[in-house]
Chains A and B, each alone.
Chain A
Amino acid sequence: MKKSGLAGVVLLGLWLGLGLGQSAQAADPIKIGVLGPMAFTQGEGHWNGATMAAEEINSAGGITVGKEKRPLELVKVDTNEFLSIPDATNATEMAVSRHKVDFMVGGFRTEAVLVMQDIAMDAKKIFIGCGAAHPELCTRVTKDYDRYKYWFRLTPINSTYLGKVDFILLGTVGAIMKKTLGLEKLKVAIIAEKAAWADPIVAAAEKMLPEQMGMEVVGTWRPSPVAKDCTAELAAIQRAGAHIVFTTFSSSVGLTFAKQWGELKVPAAAVGINVEAQKSGFWAATGGKGEYTLTVNTYGRVKITDKTIPFYDKYIKEFKEAPNYTAGTYDALYLLKDAIERAGTIKSDKVVAEMEKTDALGAAGREVFDKSHDITWGPKFVTAVGTQWQDGKIECVWPFNWEGVTYEGSKPYKLPPWVAEHWKK
């Protein structure tokens, strides 16, 4: 009896061990490195978007790789790229060599991501960019496909497309000003932070505005991305008689600018890119002075696809703020999941081939990669949106009858009352 009891225990132990062994094998996680400046809003967006997606995927059983279900394990990689590019390099190296991540998502500053991208390519790791806009990141894929094919950019749309949306927003506001205020020729002041990603937009604006849009450029100002005071620039813009100030900001200068613009009631409508104005904290940080700021954005509480509003609402419920474009890590993990499941493996080359075939409806729109592995922009694809601060809320004001596109829930653009008052004939 004793012998049979002992044998039973041994058998049970073996069975459990084997069972557990199988379970551990089934549960072997796929490691995703989430790279971003984690102490800053952009990094928080990366992490929040990724955790939301990972929780959803894991609670649904994980990712099917061949015959097994594997959960996702996120590795938080603080790149600190706002303050130090070498920190970003070290963090990415560590993600590859120490944490041994299988895939990477995130990145924010182009200057840092260019280096992070090289580290990922050396390790042949798929890296889905969700933050840096410079075209060079994808041009590299076309120039040297074998080396850079592991790179994909999901958010934001690249700075050339951002420029296009920018110009559309500018044209839209210009048309409203002409119609409502009876202005004939519009004067535009260009203000853009001195950063690599903004250079192509400034060059295009200086050329396109007078040649193709019939607008006069009264000057171009390039403050530092971290300038703490824009009063001189604003005084000069007002002195130049600008009707519109065309903004290109991704750093703290956007907040300084918007706050002082509203405080001094500069009679020029602020239109363009202002990443700070995409954040929920913008209203409190500007003391409400940033009202009427119009910016290109990735998300708005409108029905871009069926996934957008549920994503937007859940994000606000969980993190108490609106998602900014770095929260594109949410869609990135779903695209990866689909590609891995189609490939039946996590081997980079096979997943790349499947990623290239992506055609999915994500929270940001219909997501398709072009030949340079950049997200496709256009009326039938990802469009981006134009959002304006109205009475303490972020409202989607574009697309509004653009190429047949108006997202359900959009509101009309509102001209700042002091601008209308100043220019009314």
Chain B
Amino acid sequence: MLLDIVIDGLIKGSVYALLAIGFSLVLGVARIINIAHTALFMTAAYLIYMGSKILGLPLILAMAGAVALTVLLGLVVYRLFIQPIQEHEAAVLIATIAVAMMLQEVFLMSFGGHYLGVPPLIDGYLEVMGVKVTYQHLLALGLALVMLLGVRQFLTGTRLGLALRSTAQDREVANLMGMDVNRVAMATVAVSVGLAAMTGAIVVPLITVEPTMWMHPLIMMLAIVVLGGLGSIEGSFIGAYLLGFAESLVVFLLPMGSFLKDSVALSIMILVLLIRPEGLFGVSFEEER
């Protein structure tokens, strides 16, 4: 049973980590609490469905197109709804909630409440010491690690990454040093939404596509970033796996209460916050950033 819990927890954690990294990036660097992050993830999922099932495009092409279109939509949302009020965090929060609800209604009107699905990129499963894991889940696990390393490399090893970090530290000084802070913020949003869309591309064959599919990941993602430390990418990564393992523990140890897995994960978050309000890795990673 221990092996089941470890493998299942790793897989669940990877899916959550994929979502939380992009959210954490835009929060940590651009100080934007983008509640619409998972709604953009849902947008990518619907676009992939449309591309592959309605237009009949090859799955890879549908995924690439969906990522590009979602990034474009993310930038439009940023310019229209976020940039004008970026200095007011509460207003940004409310605006992004409105955007998420709007997207939900658009998909509800367009596709109804039907449960839709797309096929996996790689069909089949692998048996790891008696535990079956689908290749698509393994892909999610691998991509989570690649994305984490990629984002770290991007932030620390590229000029744009340096610009993003300096803008995050002091927007005014960065501006005085000749940086176009608005462009930097746009770049951050593009990267963050791109990550959400790529997550959608990898995760969509594992889940059901429907208009409320953004809500549950949003709650889990918020729990993860708060647990890991607001804006800390590594903290989110670790938080994602902690909650993934917590969920697996509940299902395996308390089968009758498997519906409680989300509640248990959220209770862990509250417990950690009571003991350590800045989150598990808030301070140390904040200093690093």
Contacts and interface: CB of A to CB of B under 8 A. Distances in A.
A265 interface: yes
Given A220-B255, A236-B252, A231 B11 contact: yes
Contacts of B256: 220-222
B131 interface: yes
Contacts, number: 114
B53 A284 contact: yes
A97 B22 CA distance: 49
Given A44-B112, A222-B258, A236-B255, A264 B210 contact: no
A23 B66 CA distance: 57
Given A222-B257, A264-B134, A228 B216 contact: yes
Interface in B1-20: 1, 4, 7-8, 11-12, 15
Interface residues of B, number: 45
Interface string B176-204: 00000000000000000000000000000
A230 B139 CA distance: 18
Contacts of B15: 229
A235 interface: yes
B241 to A, nearest CB: 15
Nearest to B4: A235
Contacts of B217: 228
A39 B113 CA distance: 5
A239 B109 CA distance: 42
Most buried by A among B7, B137, B208, B256: B208
A221 B134 contact: no
A287 B206 contact: no
B115 A194 contact: no
Interface string A211-224: 00000000111111
B1 A239 contact: yes
Contacts of B262: 224
Contacts of A37: 113
The number of chain A residues touching the other chain, given as a range, is 35 or more
A369 interface: no
A122 B109 CA distance: 33
Contact of A232 (B112, B206, B251, B259): B251
Contact of B247 (A221, A232, A252, A259): A232
B251 A41 contact: no
B117 A285 contact: yes
A287 B255 contact: no
B115 A232 contact: no
Given A39-B108, A222-B259, A232 B114 contact: no
B116 interface: yes
Given A221-B251, A264-B132, A264-B134, A40 B113 contact: yes
Interface of A: 37, 39-41, 44, 82-83, 193-194, 219-224, 226-229, 231-233, 235-236, 238-239, 252, 255-256, 259-260, 263-266, 276, 281, 284-287
27 contacts: A37-B113, A39-B211, A40-B113, A44-B112, A82-B113, A83-B212, A194-B259, A219-B255, A220-B256, A221-B256, A223-B258, A223-B259, A226-B216, A231-B8, A231-B11, A231-B134, A233-B255, A236-B4, A252-B115, A252-B208, A252-B210, A255-B208, A259-B117, A276-B115, A284-B117, A285-B116, A287-B120
List the 6 closest pairs (A to B, CB-CB), nearest first. A40-B113, A194-B259, A232-B251, A285-B117, A224-B259, A287-B119
Given A41-B112, A238-B132, A263-B134, 16 more contacts: A39-B109, A39-B113, A41-B114, A193-B259, A221-B255, A222-B257, A223-B258, A224-B261, A226-B216, A228-B213, A232-B12, A233-B255, A235-B7, A235-B131, A256-B208, A281-B114
